[in-house]
Amino acid sequence: MHKVLIIVGDATETVDTLYPYLRVQEEGFQPVVAGPEKRRYHMVMHEGQPGWDITREWEGYKIDADIAFRDVNPEEYLGIFFSGGRAPEYIRDNPDLIRITRHFFEKNKPVASVCHGVEVPARAGCVKGRRMSCVPKCRFDLEVCGGIYVDEPFCIDGNLVSGRTWHFHGLYMKEWIRLLHEEAARRSRRAA
């Protein structure tokens, strides 16, 4: 069974994480949750509030990381998903996560990001000249690292699929899943 990485940390957004996790399973792939350590992580629900200038946060479900970043061999995985929430801000400087992220961009494997997830590939130096959608408050993070902000619900730029927020999972997720199936077929042909 082909494996797909789902990147998390404490305060990863619940819907941003569980929707791709379940979609990957539905498509016959094995989701592998990776975090800074192999342990249980607290997810949150993020939602803007009318009249508020900031995002409100509620406690969500918990999820167990199957593997720590330091133990990930990215060659073993078809693709990678960067969940949103506050986690990306805190995990983006992890040197092993940067190593993993760069691998997927260098090898042109399927990459997906939603909301704040953009902060990881931006920090890893992988977004220069790349078009991405993300939550508007992460536009600066994307652009200061050389990326091109696309003010749309989602964006496809080659192997990179990105969504603004969880509200648009139904629009962009099928594109990332399509890329995963194409990568799986390429691997099968190479193995034959």
Length of the chain: 192
Q: What are the CA-CA distances from residue 127 to residues 26, 61, 161 (Å)? A: 29, 30, 12
Which of 2, 46, 103, 116 is an active site residue? 116
Q: What are the CA-CA distances from residue 25 to residues 18, 108, 186 (Å)? A: 11, 22, 20
116 catalytically annotated: yes
H helices within 52-191, ranges in order? 87-91, 95-106, 119-123, 139-144, 169-191
Ramachandran sector of residue 183 (left: φ over 0; alpha: ψ -120 to 50; beta: rest): alpha
Q: What whole-number distance in Å separates Cα of residue 82 and Cα of residue 91?
A: 11
Contact between 80 and 111 under an 8 Å Cβ cutoff? The reply is yes
Question: Which tokens belong to 39?
Answer: 């342990």
Contact between 160 and 178 under an 8 Å Cβ cutoff? The reply is no
**What amino acid positions are annotated as catalytic residues?**
116
